[in-house]
Amino acid sequence: MRSTRSTVTFSNPFTLPGYPGELPAGDYELLVEEELLQGLSFEAYRRTATYLTVRGRVGHAGRTELRAISDSDLKEALSRDQGATEKNNHSEAALSPQEDLK
Protein backbone atom coordinates (compact mmCIF):
# COMPACT_ATOMS: atom_id res chain seq x y z
CA MET A 1 0.00 0.00 0.00
CA ARG A 2 0.99 3.59 -0.55
CA SER A 3 -0.70 6.89 0.23
CA THR A 4 -0.23 10.21 -1.50
CA ARG A 5 -1.46 13.61 -0.38
CA SER A 6 -2.26 16.59 -2.57
CA THR A 7 -4.35 19.74 -2.36
CA VAL A 8 -7.43 20.67 -4.37
CA THR A 9 -8.86 24.19 -4.37
CA PHE A 10 -12.51 25.09 -4.68
CA SER A 11 -13.21 28.72 -5.56
CA ASN A 12 -16.91 28.42 -4.68
CA PRO A 13 -18.97 26.59 -2.04
CA PHE A 14 -19.69 23.01 -3.18
CA THR A 15 -21.50 19.80 -2.31
CA LEU A 16 -20.49 16.16 -2.44
CA PRO A 17 -22.84 13.29 -3.30
CA GLY A 18 -23.84 11.31 -0.21
CA TYR A 19 -23.00 14.07 2.28
CA PRO A 20 -25.41 16.68 3.66
CA GLY A 21 -24.74 20.37 3.45
CA GLU A 22 -22.54 22.68 1.51
CA LEU A 23 -18.80 22.99 2.08
CA PRO A 24 -17.09 26.38 1.92
CA ALA A 25 -14.68 27.40 -0.81
CA GLY A 26 -11.01 26.85 0.01
CA ASP A 27 -8.13 24.40 -0.09
CA TYR A 28 -8.81 20.77 0.78
CA GLU A 29 -6.30 17.99 1.32
CA LEU A 30 -6.84 14.91 -0.82
CA LEU A 31 -5.59 11.51 0.36
CA VAL A 32 -5.29 8.75 -2.24
CA GLU A 33 -4.56 5.16 -1.20
CA GLU A 34 -3.24 2.66 -3.73
CA GLU A 35 -2.18 -0.97 -3.64
CA LEU A 36 0.68 -2.60 -5.52
CA LEU A 37 -0.51 -4.93 -8.27
CA GLN A 38 1.17 -8.31 -7.87
CA GLY A 39 2.42 -10.60 -10.62
CA LEU A 40 3.40 -7.97 -13.17
CA SER A 41 6.85 -7.59 -14.70
CA PHE A 42 6.74 -3.87 -13.82
CA GLU A 43 5.59 -1.84 -10.82
CA ALA A 44 1.98 -0.67 -11.03
CA TYR A 45 -0.58 0.53 -8.51
CA ARG A 46 -4.37 0.53 -8.37
CA ARG A 47 -6.34 3.20 -6.53
CA THR A 48 -8.29 1.68 -3.64
CA ALA A 49 -9.68 4.79 -1.94
CA THR A 50 -9.81 8.58 -2.18
CA TYR A 51 -10.60 10.83 0.79
CA LEU A 52 -11.23 14.56 1.05
CA THR A 53 -10.16 16.10 4.37
CA VAL A 54 -12.91 18.35 5.74
CA ARG A 55 -12.06 20.55 8.69
CA GLY A 56 -14.69 21.26 11.32
CA ARG A 57 -16.56 24.53 11.20
CA VAL A 58 -18.26 26.59 13.90
CA GLY A 59 -19.18 24.35 16.80
CA HIS A 60 -16.81 21.61 15.60
CA ALA A 61 -13.55 23.55 15.31
CA GLY A 62 -10.50 21.30 15.57
CA ARG A 63 -12.41 18.30 14.28
CA THR A 64 -11.30 16.76 10.97
CA GLU A 65 -13.27 14.30 8.87
CA LEU A 66 -12.04 12.12 6.01
CA ARG A 67 -14.86 11.88 3.49
CA ALA A 68 -14.65 9.00 1.03
CA ILE A 69 -15.16 10.28 -2.49
CA SER A 70 -14.99 8.60 -5.88
CA ASP A 71 -12.65 9.93 -8.52
CA SER A 72 -15.62 10.71 -10.78
CA ASP A 73 -17.47 12.63 -8.00
CA LEU A 74 -14.33 14.67 -7.31
CA LYS A 75 -13.85 15.48 -10.99
CA GLU A 76 -17.51 16.48 -11.28
CA ALA A 77 -17.35 18.75 -8.21
CA LEU A 78 -14.20 20.44 -9.55
CA SER A 79 -15.82 20.83 -12.96
CA ARG A 80 -18.93 22.44 -11.41
CA ASP A 81 -16.67 24.74 -9.42
CA GLN A 82 -14.77 25.80 -12.54
CA GLY A 83 -18.05 26.37 -14.40
CA ALA A 84 -19.41 28.52 -11.56
CA THR A 85 -16.20 30.55 -11.48
CA GLU A 86 -16.30 31.13 -15.24
CA LYS A 87 -19.98 32.11 -15.02
CA ASN A 88 -19.23 34.58 -12.20
CA ASN A 89 -16.33 36.08 -14.14
CA HIS A 90 -18.45 36.53 -17.26
CA SER A 91 -21.33 38.04 -15.26
CA GLU A 92 -19.03 40.60 -13.68
CA ALA A 93 -17.54 41.45 -17.06
CA ALA A 94 -20.98 41.88 -18.57
CA LEU A 95 -21.99 44.28 -15.79
CA SER A 96 -18.93 46.51 -16.11
CA PRO A 97 -19.34 49.53 -18.39
CA GLN A 98 -17.63 49.44 -21.73
CA GLU A 99 -15.10 52.09 -22.55
CA ASP A 100 -15.48 54.28 -25.60
CA LEU A 101 -12.82 53.42 -28.11
CA LYS A 102 -11.71 56.65 -29.80
pLDDT at 58: 57
Cβ neighbours for 12, distance < 8 A, ≥ 6 positions apart: 25, 81, 84, 85, 88
Report the DSSP beta bridge partners of residue 45.
Answer: 36
Taking only the tens of pLDDT, the chain with its 102 residues reads 999 999 999 999 999 998 888 999 999 999 999 999 999 999 999 999 999 999 876 555 678 899 999 999 999 999 999 988 777 765 554 444 545 444
Query: In whole angstroms, what is the distance from residue 96 CA to residue 79 CA?
Result: 26
pTM over 0.75: no
Q: Please give the mean pLDDT across all residues of the chain.
A: 84
pLDDT at 76: 94
How many C-alpha atoms does 62 have within 13 Å on its Cβ side?
1
Coil/strand/helix, residue 7: strand
Residue 95's region, left for phi above 0, alpha for psi from -120 to 50, else beta, is: alpha
Question: Where along the chain do its domains lie?
Answer: 2-78
| Of the candidates 44, 27, 26, the residue with the CA atom closest to the CA atom of residue 35 | 44
